[in-house]
Structures are given as C-alpha cells and as structure tokens.
Structure 1
C-alpha cells in the first residue's frame, strides 16, 4: 500500500479527477481506494492567479538574496554535502 496526497475534483456523477499528474508508481487500471476527505478547496486556493505569482517573484527579486554570489557553480559546490558524482571533480 502506498499513499498519495493530492487535490481531487469530485463530479456529480461520482467520478473523481486528480488535479495533479499520476505518480510513476500509480498505473491506470482498477484500484481499491481509501478516500479521506480533508476539507473543500476553493478554486482560488487550488490555482493561484498569475498576477499573484508574478507579485511573489517581484518580491523575491527585491530581496536580492543571491546578488552577492559571483560564481554560482562554485557556490553550489561549496554548500552541497552530497556524494561526489562519477566523472566530476
């Protein structure tokens, strides 16, 4: 058993539409489904307006958080704690 948390649209005919793409492990076909209803979503909460997104990006740009980074590649290498990738020094 796996868990999928997503928003759905329930139609009057009883059909359910996922509002996000299917994950790779969930293939089309018949499935037993346990549906837990959390709360209704308003359409404005499900999909933010383009102007809202643009406003958020403008505010992030004004913060100039990354303006002092001269070399983004060197900065990434310095802050990453991952394992070294094969063939990369």
Structure 2
C-alpha cells in the first residue's frame, strides 16, 4: 500500500504499517449496493447467452479447421491432370 509504507522491503516480515494496509476484500467496493434479485437473474441470463455464443463459436471454428484439414488431406490429384 503506497500510503502505509514507502516500500514493502522497509516493513519487517509479518508486520504491517497500520489497519489501512489490510488486503482488500475481493469484489468489495466501498459504498456499493448489493445487486438485487432481478439483477442477479439478468446476470445469469447474460452468462448463459455468453456461454451459448462461445460454444457456437468454438463449434464453427473447430468445424472449419477440421474441414480445411480433411479437404487438404483427402484431396488427390486426378490420374490425368491435363487431358
């Protein structure tokens, strides 16, 4: 924490410069209002749509890669190239 100590090397091991140096709680924003039930529902809908598009993208990309690879591997030149 830049406000507590000039550098982390100056503070002895296991000690901290004060209560403001406590590690922040993940996701906690001072003065933040917890999400409502409706907001949580929409977050789940957004997550589901996001996963749906990710799965669609991965399937299409994998199909194109597989198709290109098989097309190249299975492509054989004709017996008489120039009749």
Question: Is the structural similarity TM-score above 0.5?
Answer: no
Structure whose residues are more often helix by fraction = 2
Structure whose residues are more often strand by fraction = 1
Tell which structure's C-alpha radius of gyration is larger.
Answer: 2
